[in-house]
Amino acid sequence: MRLLLAAAWLLASFPLHAQQRVYAVASIIGDRVLVVAADAGVGSNLDRNRKEFYELKSPALDNGAVIAMDDALRKAAPGAKSLLLGVSARALRDVQSRALDEGGAVKPLVDAIRPVAQQAGATHLVLALKNRDDARIRSPDGLIGLGKLEGLGFYIDNVMKMENRETGESTQGFVAPFAYFRVLLVDLSSGAVVSEQVVREAQAVANQKAAIAWDALAPEQKVEMLQQMVRAALLGCVPALLGKG
């Protein structure tokens, strides 16, 4: 009996951080892309950009995000176990849209995914979800852009003059792939968000040979640039999410 009591006391006093974490990894950012056409009109603080969502038939963007987070986890926390969750971003679209409209509340989304992650045996959840914020597009002249961006997509400006610093040539307009999302680390036992990283990536691309700004990138280049942008951002922010950055 004394031996059993001693063992129970030892387990109870064993530090929680020494217990092995099991991370469930999920992404709900890639169900569709947003195309934003800039409206350069003045005289109003309202976001007057034209916006249109395009449904994606393939889960490739979410799958790529999950793989990137898993790769980053393995590097930042060698030996930690991870579980890749196939969460449907489409099924949670309405919940996520309401959360964005309400200022980015994450509890409804965490509550929707938490039971599945716990049932899989995870102790923590690493979740990529959409974020909405001001357009901050990198260009040779600094940050540019109007209105709000969210999730993954492309910002188009058909008016702004862009100059190639190397050749001196100029072109009118640009297209900018963007990735606006958040990455959460959630303690599944309590549902509390332990830490968070915010990703705001957008890069202006101009092409003197393109007749219109949208054609500055070929279709395959648009997809590839989005995938690379998401992966690079996740590889950079997941270690910081775990406190190892």
Each residue's pLDDT, cut to its tens digit, for the chain (245 residues) gives 333 333 333 334 444 444 689 999 999 999 999 999 998 765 455 688 999 999 999 999 999 999 999 999 999 999 889 999 989 999 999 999 999 998 888 999 999 999 999 999 999 999 999 999 999 999 988 999 999 999 999 999 999 998 877 776 788 899 999 999 999 999 999 999 999 999 999 999 999 888 889 999 999 999 999 999 999 999 999 999 999 75
CA separation for the pair 17, 202 (Å, rounded): 37
Domain segments of the chain as ranges: 20-241
pLDDT of amino acid 49: 93
Angle between helices 60-76 and 219-241 (to 10 degrees): 30
CA within 13 Å, CB half, 66 = 21
Asked if residue 208 lies in contact with residue 43, where contact means CB atoms within 8 angstroms, the answer is: no
* Torsions phi, psi for 167 (to 5 deg): -100, -20
pLDDT of amino acid 6: 34
Of 135, 133, 129, 229, nearest in space to 179 by CA: 229
pLDDT of amino acid 44: 52
pLDDT of amino acid 154: 98
Helix (H, G, I), strand (E, B) or coil at 147: coil
